Amino acid sequence: MGFAKVEVNGKTGILFLIKPGLGQGDLLSAILYIIAPVPCNRALVKLTEKYLFKSSLGVRINMKLFLWG
């Protein structure tokens, strides 16, 4: 455990506690990687449908989300 502050554009934020999380190779990290991003990605795609690009031929281009593990 440790403490940190984040500085953005010359302004320093409050001190916060850094807690240990799941490590790479931990069995739970793979499960969380599978179950957490998928619902978030689906929600983002659904929420942004009305903002999709439409070509001059009327073709709508959807957002593609990629995850790196």
Looking at residue 30, its pLDDT comes to 76
pLDDT tens track for 12-28:
999 999 887 766 777 77
Nearest in space to 47 (alpha carbons), one of 39, 59, 55, 58:
39
Check pLDDT > 80 for residue 10: yes
Q: Is 45 exposed, middle or buried (0-12, 13-18, 19+ CB in 10 A)?
A: middle
Looking at residue 5, its pLDDT comes to 92
pLDDT tens track for 23-67:
677 777 777 777 877 788 888 888 887 777 778 888 877 766 665
Looking at residue 65, its pLDDT comes to 64
Identify the bridge partners of residue 11 per DSSP, sorted by sequence position. Answer: 8
Helix, coil or strand: residue 66: coil
